[in-house]
Structure 1
Amino acid sequence: MAGKKINMAGNQTTGSSVQNVRAVTRALVVLNSFAGKDLQTLAEVSSVTGLDKGTTRRLLLTLMQSNYIAQDPLTHHYRLGRAIRDLASNVGDTQDLRAIAQPALVELASEFSVTTFLSIFKEGAAVCLDRVHDMRGLEVHWWQVGGTLPLNCGGAPKLLLAYQPDEEIERLISQPMEKLSEKSITSKKELRKRLALIREQGWECAIDDVALGLTALAVPVFDNENHPVCAISIAGLTPQLIKNGKPVHLKRLQEVAKRIRSQLGYHQP
């Protein structure tokens, strides 16, 4: 026997084993009525949703209690509330970003026998989204997927920090800095100088500042406003990555970053 579902009007229809909860369905209809609109009156929401005003008002008041809807105190018009914004901030494109970037991470790891990383700046931290290791090289364990690193250490963390607004940088470097190795930068003055250099050259090469003998090279992937969407980085033994004091794989890493930028739908500068 076919299952039953309840439509928005409360009628039972056949053809699905899923049962819709009418109150939830109506609440979603109310929320969806604000698409493309800043403010609505009670009458406008009622008209768009097809619900009577009494039902519409009860739904709006219920949604207001959970901050999904807010009401202007002067006009009494309704708008989407803070909870919607908070939820939206967590709906990222990280899955698409990982899917697009992973072939490049695998390619780089295999080509240079290193560990490759994809990372983003989120809520004041550098977060690792993905990590790929080539079995022929040394596996770098110090940044787990989903984990963070101190912003004053490593290639990608410093790179991502360098492109944040000045006030955010000052807020973050005003906090105590961790010292992961004797080469870690813990001076605010020195870190500011390093961040300025990163912005000037467009990449970061971190030698020994997470662990002695290891180097990380990081480049940004920019959006159309030249804000970093993410960082692509490689890490391995210093002799693998540095020759005559210079990073040997920088051009290749920059090529990959440009390719990912195009694949994400951003135009090239």
Structure 2
Amino acid sequence: MAETDSPTQNVRAVTRALSVLSSFSGKSVQSLAEVTNATGLDKGTTRRLLLTLMSSGFIAQDPATQHYRLGRAIRDLAANVADDLDLRSLALPVLTELAGDVHGTAFLSVYDEGDVVCLDRIHDMKGIEVHWWAVGGTLPYNCGGAPKLLLAFQEPAEIERVLRQPAAALTPKSITDKAELKASLAKIRERGWELAVDDVALGLSALAVPVRGRDDAIVCSISIAGLTPQMVARNKPVHLARMQSAAAAIERRLKGAGRS
């Protein structure tokens, strides 16, 4: 009779897979040897676990370096994780009303060690739907309203670290020069918002403002995107006051939840 896996063996396999995933904490990429050393498993077992996790999207491999990184499935799951204040649920009514008022697409996003992750996207059926940023997806740090806004408010050392990474040129309007980008980030910090015109897709623009928590630290960003002529008038954002009002409403909900 064929031998079957025992419950103990199955649990051990899960534990080992989780140890492989956990080894990426604080690391963007790892070699096979690095994962092996971090988990304490032998090389053959580590390789088999990595291949299994790759097949389900939890691990990805760079074909040039053969190094491993966390896969898209991790980000997709993370987008559905509720923190203590359940940020998505608190922001949803405000974002829904905002999208309806401006007839555009509203986004909720957070900063994550150089990445800016979209937590939610709400579209008003009367306007153009912006598809460029899926829930759980990221945008380059130098393109779009929310990525530049959230990067601008990081500590100087973190900004320098991120700016050492190559800048993406999604359109001819994308800022790729480091000095120019640093100047742009300084301006964002000074005025407290960012209007990104045509730098992710030509003809589309995004306006982003910060949302602050009880300690006045920035928790997330909300942004809206739409056709540039509907977003910009005389080189100024059309919906800035409405965006700031929405951010203030989310801040009140955050602070109220924190007291409960």
Q: TM-score range by the shorter chain?
A: 0.5 to 0.7
Q: Does 1:207 align with 2:236?
A: no
- Whether 2:227 is the aligned partner of 1:237: answer yes
What is aligned with 1:18?
none
Q: Report how many residues are paired.
A: 181
The corresponding residue for 1:185 is 175
1:160 counterpart SS class = helix
Distance in 2 of aligned mates of 1:206 and 1:131 = 18
1:107 aligned residue? 97
Q: Structure 1: give runs of 5+ residues left out of the alignment.
A: 1-65, 67-89
How far apart, CA to CA, are the structure 1 residues paired with 2:215 and 2:167? 30
- Segments of 5+ residues of structure 2 without an aligned counterpart are 1-38, 40-77
Structure (1/2) with the larger helix percentage: 2
Residue matched to 1:222: 212
Secondary structure of the 1:216 match is: strand
1:261 aligns with 2:248: no
Give the Å deviation of 1:92: 6.1
Give the secondary-structure state (helix, strand or coil) at the position aligned to 1:219.
Answer: strand
The alignment status of 1:116 with 2:102, answered yes or no, reads no
Q: In angstroms, what is the RMSD of aligned CA positions?
A: 2.2
What is the CA distance between 1:95 and its match in structure 2?
7.0
- Assess if the C-alpha contact under 8 Å between 1:163 and 1:227 holds in 2: no
Counterpart-to-counterpart distance in 1, 2:240 and 2:119: 21
Partner of 2:145: 155
Match of 1:246 in 2: 236
SS in 2 for 1:139: coil
Residue 185 of structure 2: aligned partner:
195
CA–CA distance in structure 1, aligned partners of residues 162 and 87 of structure 2: 26
Give the C-alpha shift of residue 134 in structure 1: 1.1
The verdict on how the C-alpha distance between 1:95 and 1:180 changes in structure 2, with shifts beyond 3 A counting, is: farther
Q: 1:237 to 1:92 in 2, by over 3 A?
A: same
| Contact 2:82–2:88 (CA under 8 A) maintained in structure 1 | no
Does the CA-based 8 Å contact 1:94-1:129 persist in structure 2?
A: no
Q: 1:140 to 1:179 in 2, by over 3 A?
A: same
How far does the alpha carbon of each residue in 1:75-121 deviate from its partner, in whole angstroms, 9 at most, with x for none?
A: xxxxxxxxxxxxxxx88628711001011111111111100000000
Distance in 1 (CA, whole Å) between partners of 2:216 and 2:231 is: 27
Cα distance between partner residues in 2 of 1:94 and 1:209:
34
Contact kept in structure 2, 1:116 and 1:232, CA below 8 Å: yes
| TM-score computed with the length of structure 1 as normaliser | 0.64
**Structure 1 CA distance for aligned equivalents of residues 248 and 256 of structure 2:** 9
Alignment of 1:127 onto 2:79: no
Mapping 1:46-85, distance limit 5 Å: none
AA in 1 matched with 2:223: S
User: CA contact under 8 A between 1:124 and 1:172: conserved in structure 2?
Assistant: yes
The two structures have a TM-score, normalised by structure 2, of 0.66
Q: Could you say if the C-alpha distance between residues 147 and 133 of structure 1 is closer, same or farther in structure 2, counting changes exceeding 3 Å? A: same
